[in-house]
């Protein structure tokens, strides 16, 4: 049976070069980076080299990169610290952010009594910039939290424009860039972002490691206390092999960016064309069918399938060896459906089966042909 992986927005396959690099570090550089002997100094040097590599690709200071366990911890670090340490009273966001942001904000309301204001969205899931500008006029200490690329519908936010608005209105800006780093270049010397969250496993790196960009002299304090690791910003013995895996994956991603983006874009175009030909009544959610306004890495398609068949569609695809998803893997156990699609689809369309297919360099057009054939069979 075919085994086809179209769930790269959930996680990606490790590159072989990353595995080799991590294995070498696991075997040879096992010292604790906080130890002062040569084994410890060697591990510390590896971590600091990785930090400089990350900073170089984002055009920021190495001291502004804090390694974390992933995007969720990075989001929590930025948001919770901004409220606790920087006096933020109001956070402006949308209802289609990742739950790492939305659930953190819910908890901050309970703990600190902050105000959360949600921006209106159009039928494609895009914000109203005039409304954002209006909300930024209020005098209290504010933070805007908006993801760069939506993980379910692929919409791309103009973070440069948001950053400029925030700067003009003395407002902090946090962005979850988990779906964009490694796939898009971001120049932090040119974009006014105060906090940025990243996860390595979205660009063919290992799970369990990411980083938080924290603009210099922000004044935030750690969430996790213990040792003085990560310049006192994040206690806990560093996972050297994972940090090296992140570094290697990031280097390869940006070295091959032009070539791989072109290839994956052809896959997305081919998928859209194939779906439109096979299912003329299918629609693409958000801007995922628009190559200009959505990421090249995913599509989210609403299929014209009978309501009684909809609940077993994913199961049937899995039986045929096809991995895709209804939305974020982080909420796969939920029976409520996608919180993102619930905000932009009418009730009738929300009841139809919507699937997210996300692509990588390891996918092929032949795999797309197989998926479309299986879907036609199911219809």
Among the residues of 152-227, which ranges form H helices? 159-168
Domain 16-255 has CATH 3.40.50.2300: no
E strand segments, the chain:
4-5, 65-68, 90-93, 115-118, 142-145, 172-176, 195-199, 210-214, 283-284, 298-302, 322-323, 354-358
Angstrom distances, CA of residue 342 to CA of 91, 126, 176, 298? 22, 14, 21, 19
In sequence order, the β-bridge partners of residue 197 are 176, 212
Q: How far apart are CA 328 and CA 325, in angstroms?
A: 7
Among all residues, which ones are annotated catalytic? 330
Q: How far apart are CA 308 and CA 297, in angstroms?
A: 30
CATH 3.90.1150.10 occupies which residues in the chain?
Answer: 4-12+257-378
Q: What is the dihedral of CA 313, 321, 373, 183, to 10 degrees?
A: 90
CATH 3.40.640.10 occupies which residues in the chain?
Answer: 16-255
Q: How far apart are CA 214 and CA 173, in angstroms?
A: 11
What pLDDT shows up at residue 327? 64
Angstrom distances, CA of residue 319 to CA of 3, 325, 369, 378? 10, 14, 17, 12
Q: Could you tell me whether strands 142-145 and 172-176 are parallel, antiparallel, or unpaired per DSSP bridges? A: parallel
What pLDDT shows up at residue 346? 87
Contact 49, 40 (CB under 8 A): no
What pLDDT shows up at residue 326? 83
pTM of the model: 0.95
Contact 301, 330 (CB under 8 A): no
Domain 4-12+257-378 in this protein, CATH class? alpha beta
Short-list 285, 313, 282, CA closest to 299: 285
Q: How far apart are CA 264 and CA 258, in angstroms?
A: 10
What pLDDT shows up at residue 333? 47
Residue numbers in the chain where pLDDT is lower than 50: 333
State the DSSP code for 302. E
Which residue bears the tokens 């980076």? 33
What pLDDT shows up at residue 210? 98
Short-list 56, 104, 64, 65, CA closest to 84: 104
Which residue bears the tokens 């791309």? 156
Q: How far apart are CA 108 and CA 88, in angstroms?
A: 11
Long-range contact list for 334-341, CB < 8 A, 24+ apart?
338/152, 339/95, 339/96, 339/99, 339/102, 340/96, 340/125, 340/150, 340/152, 340/153, 340/286, 341/152, 341/153, 341/285, 341/300
Short-list 231, 233, 227, 223, CA closest to 81: 223
Render 241-252 in DSSP notation, one character per residue.
HHHHHHHHHHHH
Q: What angle do CA 208, 212, 218 make, to 5 degrees?
A: 155
């Amino acid at each position: 049976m075919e085994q086809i992986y179209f769930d790269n927005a959930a996680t990606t396959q490790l590159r072989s070069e990353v595995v080799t690099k991590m294995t070498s570090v696991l075997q040879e550089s096992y010292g604790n980076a906080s130890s002062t002997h040569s084994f410890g100094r060697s591990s510390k040097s590896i971590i600091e080299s990785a930090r400089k590599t990350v900073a170089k690709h984002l055009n920021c200071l190495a001291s502004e990169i804090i390694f974390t366990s992933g995007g969720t911890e990075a989001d929590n670090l930025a948001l919770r610290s901004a409220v606790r340490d920087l006096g933020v009273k109001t956070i402006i966001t949308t209802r289609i952010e990742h739950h790492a942001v939305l659930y953190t904000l819910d908890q901050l309301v309970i703990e600190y009594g902050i105000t959360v204001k949600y921006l209106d969205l159009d039928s494609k899931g895009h914000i109203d910039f005039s409304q954002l500008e209006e909300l930024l006029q209020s005098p209290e200490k504010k933070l805007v939290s908006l993801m760069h690329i939506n993980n379910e519908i692929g919409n791309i936010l103009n973070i440069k424009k948001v950053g400029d608005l925030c700067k003009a209105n003395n407002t902090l800006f946090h962005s979850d860039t988990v779906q964009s780093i490694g796939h898009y270049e971001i120049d932090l010397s040119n974009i006014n972002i105060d906090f940025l969250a990243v996860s390595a496993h979205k660009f063919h790196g290992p799970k369990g490691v990411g980083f938080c960009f924290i603009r210099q002299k922000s004044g935030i304090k750690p969430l996790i206390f213990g040792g003085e690791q990560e310049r006192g910003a994040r206690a806990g013995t560093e996972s050297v092999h994972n940090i090296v895996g992140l570094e290697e994956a990031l280097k390869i991603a940006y070295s091959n960016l032009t070539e791989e983006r072109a290839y994956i874009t052809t896959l997305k175009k081919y998928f859209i064309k194939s779906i439109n030909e096979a299912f003329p009544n299918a629609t693409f959610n958000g801007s995922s069918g628009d190559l200009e306004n959505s990421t090249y890495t995913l599509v989210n398609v609403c299929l014209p399938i009978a309501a009684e068949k909809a609940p077993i569609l994913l199961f049937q695809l899995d039986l045929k060896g096809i991995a895709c998803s209804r939305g974020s893997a982080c909420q796969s156990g939920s029976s409520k459906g996608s919180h993102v699609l619930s905000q932009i689809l009418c009730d009738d369309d929300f009841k139809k089966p919507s699937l997210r297919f996300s692509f990588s360099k390891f996918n092929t057009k032949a795999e797309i042909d197989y998926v479309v054939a299986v879907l036609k069979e199911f219809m």
